[in-house]
């Protein structure tokens, strides 16, 4: 809701309000730009995943029909290794969740701000007091959004670390694989 500050608004109130509006706008921009950034990666990984699935399923059909069984089986194995190495599926799930979370934050900030600001103006007769309450609202919404951003970023980082750990060929995993091979003999 756009409005002019009333004549005689104390300078500190005016400055605090204007700064809170600016910061809240930046918070909303951060949510939207983060969501857009992740949407690009989602699309790339999604189409890569579709391509891998298509090639694998088509190859499986040809193998079942008896055409080039060894070559296509090797092709499917290569596609699986590429997908696993790139961690395409795992990363896709985590960034889809992040994209939806960032979008949700932006929408929540905008809706809450609009609703609460309207209530404040309707209930408050003194515009200067209303401006102070709106400033407090803007600060609260910004803090809540920033906490959510941190939570999302931490979750993405943790997911990336877990994915990298799963790719690790540490000594314990290597020994376990060798034991399994021994058991099959």
Q: Angle at CA 84, nearest 5°, toward 82 and 86? A: 65
Give the position of tokens 């939207």. 32
Average pLDDT rounded to a whole number, residues 88-107: 86
Tell me if 51 is assigned to some domain: yes
Alpha carbons 3 and 160: distance in angstroms, whole number: 45
Tell me if 3 is assigned to some domain: no
Task: State the first-to-last Cα distance of the chain, in angstroms, to the nearest integer.
Answer: 75
Q: How many domains does the chain have?
A: 1
pTM (two decimals): 0.65
Higher confidence at residue 52 or residue 133? 133
Taking only the tens place, the pLDDT of each residue in 107-144 is: 898 889 888 888 887 776 777 888 888 889 889 999 99
Give the range of the structural domain holding residue 47, as residue numbers without chain letter: 11-184
The CATH number that applies at residue 138 is 1.20.58
Tell me if 1 is assigned to some domain: no
């Amino acid at each position: 809701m756009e409005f002019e500050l009333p004549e005689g608004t104390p300078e500190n109130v005016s400055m605090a309000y204007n700064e809170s509006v600016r910061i809240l706008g930046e918070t909303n921009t951060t949510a939207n730009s983060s969501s857009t950034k992740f949407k690009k990666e989602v699309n790339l990984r999604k189409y890569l995943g579709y391509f891998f699935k298509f090639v694998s399923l088509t190859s499986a059909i040809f193998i079942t029909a008896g055409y080039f069984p060894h070559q296509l089986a090797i092709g499917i194995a290569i596609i699986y290794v590429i997908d696993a190495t790139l961690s395409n599926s795992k990363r896709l799930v985590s960034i889809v969740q992040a994209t939806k979370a960032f979008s949700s934050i932006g929408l929540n900030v905008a809706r809450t701000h609009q609703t609460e600001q309207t209530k404040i103006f309707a209930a408050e007769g003194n515009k200067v007091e209303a401006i102070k309450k709106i400033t407090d609202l803007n600060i609260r919404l910004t803090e809540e959004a920033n906490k959510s951003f941190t939570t999302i970023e931490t979750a993405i980082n943790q997911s990336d670390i877990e994915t990298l750990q799963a790719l690790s060929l540490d000594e314990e995993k290597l020994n376990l694989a060798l034991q399994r091979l021994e058991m099959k003999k």
